[in-house]
Structure formats: C-alpha cells, structure tokens
Amino acid sequence: MALELSTKASIVGRPVADIEKFGERGTAYLGKVVMSTGERPVLGRKVLCDIATPHVMLICGKRGSGKSYDLAVLLEEFARQPFDIKQRISIIAIDTVGIFWTLKIPNKAETKELEKWDLKPDKTSVKVLVPQGRIDFYKKKGIPIDGAFTIRTSELDITEWLSLFKLSWNDALGVLLTRVVEQVKEVLGNYYGIEDIIKAINKDEEADKITKQALTNRFKVAETWGLFEKEGTKIMEIARPGAITVIDVSAYRQAIGMEGTRDIVVGLLGKKLFEERMLYRKEEEVKLTKGLKKESDMPLVWLMIDEAHMFMPRDEENIALQVLLEWVRVGRQPGLSLVLATQRPEKLHPDAISQCDLFISHRMTSQADIQAVSQLRPSYMHQDFDKYYQQMPRARGYALLLDDNTEKLWLIKVRPRFSWDGGVTASAFTE
C-alpha cells in the first residue's frame, strides 16, 4: 500500500472531488516532484495538470529558464489526449519567436534523457500557420508549415484600424478612416478587401488631397503584409475540435510598421473566440436543462501566449490587452483558458498575475520581477519567493508550482520533450 501511494501521481488544477470522479483523465504530464535538495535531486511522483477545465496559467522565469519548453510540453500533452477529451478542446498557440514548428520533429537529440523518464522521442501533430506574405521564405528554408494565416478584412473594426496605424479618432486621418470604413461596411457588408477601402478613400469628397494620400499610403503598406484578405482565415476554423494550431507571428517583427499586426492578430482572435464561446456556452446550458449531453460544436479553447508581457503590458496600451483581461477575469464561465509565459512579470499587467490559478515559476533573479509575483504569496506558501528560488537547482527545467485549486505548492522538474527543441540557445560552437 505504501508503495502504491508513493507512485501515485499528483494532480494539480483539479479539486479533490473531480480527482475522485475523473482520475487521471484529461490531464497533462508536466514532470516530477523534486524530493531532495542539491543540484541533482531525487525525483518522485509524476505531476499531472488538469486540462479538461478552464484555467489561467502563468509561467515565469528568467531568460532561458525553460518557459517556452514548458509550453511545448503542454502542446505535446494536448496532442496525446484520448479522442473524447481532445474533441472537446482546441488549442491555439501564439508563437512570437517562431520555434514551435519543431514540435513536428522527434527529439532524437535527447533520447538518453527521455529514456531515464521511460519516454521516447516522438513527433507531435500540430498545425503551423505563418503570415501569407512569408510562406515562400518558410518553404525555401524547408520549414514544415501547414498554411497561411490571414485575417478577414471585415473583422477589423474601426478601433482596430486606428490602433494598427497608430491614429486617433480626432486627427484628420482618423476621421477619414472612420468615415470610409463605415461606408464600406454599409455598402459591401462583410466581404471587402483593402482595395475597396482605398477606392472609398479616393471617392471621399470631404477630406483634402494630402489626408487622402496619407491614409491611402497606410493601407497600401498594410496590403503588402499579406495579412488581410477578403476571405481570410475564419477564426472559427482555427478553433475546430481537437485542433492544435500554432500561429507563428515572429515574422511580424521584421517589417516596418508591422509590429502592431501581432497585437491585432491576438486581439482579434481573443475577441472572436470570446464572443463565440459565450454563445455556445448558452447553447450547452440549454441542452443541460433539457437533460441532454453537454455538447456543442465549439470546443473549449486554450490560448497559449509566449512573451505575454508584449500583449498584456502593465503600463502601456495594447489592442489585445482589454480582450485578454476579459479572458483572465471571466473566461472560466465560457470555457476559455489562458497560458501566459513571460520572463518579465514586472512588465505584465498585474491582473494577469493575481488571477492565475496555476503558477509555474522557474528561477528568477531580478528583484523587480520577484516583487511582481510576490502579490501571489498565498497562505499555503511557507516562505518568500526569494527563498524558494535560492533552493531551486540551477539546471534548467526546475520550477516552483503553485496550485490554487488544491492549495498546494511543489518544486518540480519539467519532463523532457518528445519533440525537437527549437529554442536551444545559440552558440558559437559547432559541435
């Protein structure tokens, strides 16, 4: 009996009653509990994390401590869920660095390490979408991608266009933009492209020539990004049951004026998914009241965001911020989960920290960042964060795990990946 107890996995993120009811179904294998001190500690029980119900998970840690690695481990686990669970969830990962396509390749480099964990290298089935305008670049480099991600032009509201071009309501360009986008919507409904907006600008009779030219130029630049299309990727197509989609937004850093597009992509995705899930949730509720099974076409959604401080900054405005704060505050009810990874919790909106129910923290050394997460310090934490970080082994993959659901705290070692690690630190050595 004692032996059985010590090998039983610990489940985080799931209340005891649900553990009794569902056991280990719908969980992700994160790693193992650290049982002793020192640089090579003894590892104990497996740690499994609930992924069948909504959570807000925050992953912190200094540069190169293993945050993106954790996200990849989670993606691998989503991909390995039994069919019935997988069909009820959909995962979208925002890849700011362009590293998650390597999930498609087995991790042959760490076969030995995987063996120690009784695991084997394996590929993970994910769909990687890149900006339309960058497809050729990826293909030339032989990077396995699955298609382009574009946005239906009509999905952008006036506020989003204004934010994209860094304009305000009351400057001349903003006034013209508001007028033409409203007009185009009225005449063409939700099927129009940037060229239709440009035509409307040219036809405008109120604005002067220079204002018209300046706004046209902005739209022409936006056209070259290859992000907006009449058709565009339907957001609901991305949130298909069982789909694991990586949206590579790393290329949006490279073109001038494109920085804002990354925020628009996240903001729009967040907004649409929120609206749709709210509707579907009602449908599910109606079914429940009629004694029918709780099923609808739209699965629960997990949105994973690496470098989350970029989209949910503490002191700046960002088009994605309000939407994501909504996810954080009320996402549980409609079934929306967020996994946020950041190396700068100090730069992250404080609500994203205070509202998380699962907190995974690798080593942190900056006092400002430690201070930022210290607001979390729950009653079940026996000492300050500083002390935990000092005790944590220096090697990568070790982390403190706080679970508000079970009100427990662990020191864990994250398991090795099945799939190739694209985040390996660059080095001048060739071997």
Binding site for ligand ATP (CB under 6 A): 61, 63-69, 343, 396-397, 414, 416, 421, 423-425
Residue 307: CB minimum distance to Mg ion, A: 7
For ligand ATP, give the closer residue by CB, 95 or 160: 95
Nearest 5°: the CA angle 71, 77, 82 is 155
429 secondary structure, DSSP code: -
For Mg ion, give the closer residue by CB, 97 or 109: 97
Residue nearest to ligand ATP according to CB distances in the complex: 397
Picked from ligand ATP, Mg ion, none, the partner binding residue 416 (CB below 5 to 8 A depending on kind) is ligand ATP
70: nearest Cα among 122, 37, 107, 29? 29
d(CA 191, CA 231): 7
Residue 89: CB minimum distance to ligand ATP, A: 23
Residue 414: CB minimum distance to ligand ATP, A: 4
Picked from Mg ion, ligand ATP, none, the partner binding residue 69 (CB below 5 to 8 A depending on kind) is ligand ATP
Answer yes or no: are the C-beta atoms of 162 and 145 closer than 8 Å.
no
For ligand ATP, give the closer residue by CB, 16 or 35: 35
Picked from Mg ion, ligand ATP, none, the partner binding residue 61 (CB below 5 to 8 A depending on kind) is ligand ATP
Picked from Mg ion, ligand ATP, none, the partner binding residue 226 (CB below 5 to 8 A depending on kind) is none
Residue 421: CB minimum distance to Mg ion, A: 11
Helix-helix angle 259-289:321-330, to 10 degrees: 30
Regarding 68 and contact with Mg ion (CB under 5 A), the answer is yes
For the record, the structure tokens of 107 come out as 């991790």
d(CA 109, CA 54): 34
Residue 308: CB minimum distance to Mg ion, A: 11
Counting DSSP H helices and E strands in the chain, the numbers are 16, 15
CA distances from 411 to 32, 249, 267, 388, 401 (A): 9, 32, 34, 9, 6
Strands 398-403 and 408-414 come out as antiparallel
Window contacting Mg ion (CB under 5 A); options: 66-74, 129-137, 347-355, 362-370:
66-74
- For the chain, the residue count is 431
d(CA 234, CA 225): 18
For ligand ATP, give the closer residue by CB, 69 or 101: 69
Residue 55: CB minimum distance to ligand ATP, A: 20
Residues found near Mg ion in the complex (CB under 5 A): 67-68
